[in-house]
Amino acid sequence: MNRIRILVVDDHTLFREGLRQLIEMEKELEVVGEASNGLEAISRARVLHPDVILMDINMPMVNGVDAIKEVLAESPDTGIIVLTMFREDQYVFDAMRAGARGYLLKDAKPADLIFAIKTVAKGASLIDPRMTTTVLREFRRLAGQTDAEQGVGGLTAREKEILRLLAMGLSNKEIAHRLSLSEKTVKNYLSTVFQKLQLSDRVQAAIYALRHGLVVDQGS
């Protein structure tokens, strides 16, 4: 039987240890590693290839939201469950936009956590029932924003840089070399950019970048 491989990320050692003991009581689950901050999470996810990551939000060095973006840029199929102390935390909404698939409060029942892990490992999403109203309200707010309001402002600094290099005529391989990334990572970033900006190809992306001042049009 293939067990679900889990990476536990939290800056509190006792909390990580408690999660490990709880998770490993389930035969189908296996904790393959731990991390105490977002930077460690990115590094260990790259090496361990977990199926599911339990991710704290407020951590030193690199916070959970930025870690989610980096992990999913390299491994978009990884299921990430955000664990938070707060029901209305802006970081949680940022994590949603970053691509996390599960959202639980840290005082969730053990059975609910186990169920969430198994659900997210199958590719589905799950939200703590106590957070549902808050989450739906935030999604309605986001849906009400116009494309113009989101646009370039909705891109991360790394996404803007990759879009700028694409508009300059660089291939994925050249962008990867320039930014010390893998071609796969660049491709994943571009897929995210295309989705955010509702673009269908590189030509549209290049035109968009020129129009919005990300690169100077050499012909003008």
Report pLDDT for 84.
83
Report pLDDT for 140.
59
**Residues of the chain predicted below pLDDT 50:** 145-149, 217-220
Range of the domain at 86: 4-143
pTM: 0.62
Is 160 inside a domain boundary?
yes
How many domains, the chain? 2
Q: How far apart are CA 117 and CA 128, in angstroms?
A: 12
Residues 94 and 183 in one domain: no
- Check residue 128 and give left, alpha or beta (phi > 0: left; psi -120 to 50: alpha): beta
Report pLDDT for 178.
93
Report pLDDT for 217.
43
Handedness of CA 26, 77, 108, 115 (dihedral sign): negative
Residues 139 and 163 in one domain: no
Report pLDDT for 216.
52
CA 93 to chain centre: 11
Is 18 inside a domain boundary?
yes
Report pLDDT for 146.
47
Domain boundary among 110, 143, 176: 143
CATH code of the domain containing 94:
3.40.50.2300
Report pLDDT for 1.
61
Return all residues near 58 (Cβ < 8 A) that are at least 6 apart: 11, 64, 91
